[in-house]
Structure 1
Amino acid sequence: MPDILKRLFSPPSFEDDSKTFQAYLLFVILWGLIFVPVPYVLYVIFNSPEELNRALLQTVIGELVNLFLFYLLHRGYVRAASLIQVGALWLFFTVTAITGSGVMGEGYLLGYPLVIVIAGILTSGRTTFGITMLSLVTGGLMVYAENNGILVPSHRANLTTTWVISLAIFPMGMILQYLSRKVVQNALKRASASEERYRLISGVTTDYTFATEVDPQGGVKLVWVAGAFENLTGYTFEEYIESGGWTKHLHPDDVEKDAQDMAELRQNRNVRSEIRTYTKSGEMRWGRISAHPIWDKETNSLKGIVGAVQDITHTKAAEEKLKQTMLQQSAILNGIPDTAWLKDKDSRYIEVNEQFARVVGLKAEEIIGRSDFEIWQKDFAEHYRTSDLEIMRTGQRIYMEETQIDGKGREYWVETIKTPIHNLEGEVVGTVGITREISDRKKAESEREALINELEAKNAELEQFTYTVSHDLKSPLVTITGFLAYLEQDARKGDFARLQQDVSRIQQAVDKMQSLLRDLLELSRIGRLMNPPTEFTFTELVSDALELVRGQIETENVSIVLEGMDDIQVTGDRTRLIEVIQNLVDNATKFMGPQTRRVIAIGSLKNEAEERVFYVRDNGIGIPPEFHERIFGLFNKLNSSTEGTGIGLTLVKRIIEVHGGHIWLESRPGKGSTFYFTLL
């Protein structure tokens, strides 16, 4: 209940100030209208009891309408409530006039003026005009009806009745006069506030607007200015006109540009330009001019200009400072012999040096604003973007070595250092990077690694060589030493048969030692002592090698099959390459096995890379996979009972490698063996 009473006696408030004020006006009028009937009802009770029912009915209807309007008002329907209020009052006084004294009664003479004033306060001018005209027309109709006996007034108002009704109407008129003054005061207050806001804005803004007139002779006259004109120029409007106006304050270097802008306006074209002018104190300031021509269609000529001037002096100073910074930055970047760049947080290039542009194959200005995806191949671009995002996330510098492809398609090694760029708040806003080509270093590292691996292999081979040589040389020496003792004993005894056996055993040991030393000498010569390279066919090479092992081939009853020879040209040390075929064939005949048909195939083919591959294939006993690499090692004999020193395949491998090729074995036990090799 208290809330209802509070709302009833308090005008509503809304976010819209204009709506709130309109609601206040209606609120006051409604309360005034609630008390208007009181003097009239009291008068009727004491002086005209016969009209009491009519007076009470009018009062009840009026108060119900007022209460309904209070409801609409607090619900926010201010405009609707205002229109209903005006309409209801007009209808009330119309009915009162028709059922009462007509145009001579208080309803018409006092009521209609009251309605018109309320309409003027609460509604628009169009609505007020409509109510006024409607009242005049209604009055005319009532006069016509009375004159023709259509409408007969129920009574004529007397002076006392008129005075009593004025007791209600006049206070209401006072209320309306008060509200009219409030309307005017509110308008003045809003205008004053608007003017104050305009003054404050003008005091802090750096823009002003202007308008000019152009006379038939083409002269331009400044008509008015608004905004921060005085702040920007230092002149009052009058002082500016007296000092010569716009053209007298132009920077000498911008006079021609201003003339070009004026020519554009005379062609009925908008102008947007940046001009330097001087202020009253002599200070030079930059202004951004936006001018729009006012065109006279009758004369097809310029008759005026409206536009705005924005002070951009600080912006220009900042641009110049930024330009100097960028020039210094560019000079620093171009002074770096390596590839260098700056990127924003979106990984778009904002600055690159000349070396970067050369690598990419574009001009530096063509790279600015592009992303890695617009410059590099997709896989490289994705890698670069990933590293940028990592820097953005962690704020840490990164170092990496990677391959890169330049604008010509050349792939090379680089080392890259990327560092985050922080703003004053410590946020990462970009990256700076430097890349240096390290292809030569990588090549040197690779060569060093290869040399280290080769040296380690040589050392291992040397250790094996030392061990084997000492062992294999020691064995015949022990034999010789032992049989020399037997030789002495048998000589003393005169046992010539045993003596002959001792000498034979010593000779075998010497031959074995001599064979070992000869093979070791051959191995040491490969790579150091080579015959000059010559050209010959692979067929000739195979023929010479087979001639050297013909006796062994015939003894072992081995068939030789030549495949895919086709007079293939070979370049190299013919003698050494003959040794390769000779050793491979010799090796094949030793491990043929018990099969009746023994075959060795020699030929060539091309692999998937179109590389020429030579081979020697047999159908012998085969070699288990675990020995495929081992057999090329020094002194590695899979069967110690066979003849030879175990150096043959080592010699073959060394000769092939000296000729820029490589050799490998494919074999399975019981399925024979195939030695493949290539030559440069």
Structure 2
Amino acid sequence: MKRVRWPWFTVFGGALLLLALLLWGLGWVYDPLFLMIASGVFVCLSVVLLSWPWAVLAPASALAVAAPGLWGQPWPVSLSLLFLLGGIALVVGGAGFLFRRQAHHRQVRRKLELSYGEEVFENSLNILHVIDREGNVLRRNRRSFELLGWPHRRTLHITEYVHPEDLDRFRIDLERLFERGEIREVCARFLKEDRGTLSVEIQARRITGKLAVLEAHDLSDVQKLQKELAEERARYRYLIEDGIDALDVGVILVDGKGQVLWANLALGKFFGLERDGWIGRPALRLLEKISMVLEDGESFISQVREGYQAGMGVEGLIVQVRPGRGREERVLQYSSIPLAGRSFRGGRVDYFADVTALKKLEAELREQKRLLEEANERLRAFNAAVSHDLRNPARAALGYIQMILSQHNGTIPEEVRRDLELARGRLQRMDRMLEDLSRYSKMRLDPSQFEPVDLKKLLSDVREDLGSVLSGAELRLPQDLPTVFGRPSLLSELFANLIHNAIKFNDKDKPVVEVGWKPYRGETYLFWVRDNGPGIPAEYLEKIFKLFEQLDRSKEGTGAGLAICRRIVEEHGGRIWAESQVGQGATFYFTLPKVPVRKGVESDAH
């Protein structure tokens, strides 16, 4: 069975009643002097030892003890005794209150020292208040005096330093503090002595049933930084907006709710719209408005809606703007990019790029391509005419002349025979020129048909084919020639033409021709054919690559050799050029691919 513990003030009250009965039974209560002394002692002890409201029992007990004695006394004696007991109760009660208050403060100080330490409490960088349930600040630290003011007041009330607009909420937080034991991250505004405002973040902890310690962190520096950051963001936003406005691209920024966050000036110029009136309105509504001035606007808005609903992007949609009030005829490329970042998730960036000039250029290129194809067709027709209509009569005439010279050589006068031989030479040259022209115009290569070519073997075959041409000349070939991609027959003709020309136009007793190579830019090799001949004047270094151009007409040939060499190199995706100084020989450089090449659109018409 659990033992019952009676409160000590109940035991004390019972003892007083027993003592009162004892005194009554002994008859001592009829002595007024002794009655006053005993009653005063009871009152003093009970008021000092008991707390409110139990201290009220003291005068009540004294009156209970004195009741029998007062019953038989004259009323002045009873009244004086009553006043005496009341006075003693008030004086001793006040002394007891002061005694208990000092004891309570010592208890709070001990708890503070256990929780914070005296030094930490006073020197904390945050405001520290010891506060009770009613909102009275019983103690403040040094930081509170510095930030709030009131340097001569050790105590405050929440109505004095909490902003009126925050006061009701603060009282609710105060009740929650004493109910739950602590509160955290409560924002409020404190008032200073000079009526200034201080924003703080509060956390508090209960230390007794009636007291708590409140810690307030000054947010002034944080708010100042936040303000500066907001100003910086605004400045950057204005900078970005001004930058977007400077673009010749119509831009629409859409937020996560599908509303227009920003539209630049170019958008208004493209479509004749007032962009400011659309900010904050649904982006799809703006795009529907734009579709009304587009050719095939229904198809445009249908694709845009589909992209918006699916959360997908729209890429490279070409639209044409009809001319009208405040707008010009344009060709625009529309794209819509959804944003996946955390800050703007669900937003989009829509833009219209003006491709009017590009589309005009494409149209011009298509027209140029058409003209080139017509020129190629005419060139093929010309080539057919050269091959048949011109070459066949020339060969027929050459055949007649050769027949006359062979059958009537002895009977033809010398002067006539010389004229016939001169005509035969001219016709033979004409036939070779027509053959070179036909080969030149027909030379078109498909890079997909290129094959690896071992240049070491190829140049060995070229040396053997040149045969007597190399008699009396020195041809220097490297031993480590690489493998390239191309057409073996044409590459053989390229090297043979360059080596043959280096010997044919050489003025030295012993012509020397050197072939070399090295890796070049990207996926190409650089080759060269160098001779020790007379050299080429600078003004002819480009002219010699033109068709039927000859610097020395005393030499046999049509002047098409270097033109054909250039065509072979270009058909392999490379280029050829010459460098020379008069009297120091000439060097012909050209590039060939290491790997198969892709050529752009070309034409025979050049």
- Shorter-chain TM range is 0.3 to 0.5
Greater relative CO (CA pairs within 8 A, separation 6+): 2
TM-score, scaled relative to structure 2: 0.40
TM-score, scaled relative to structure 1: 0.36
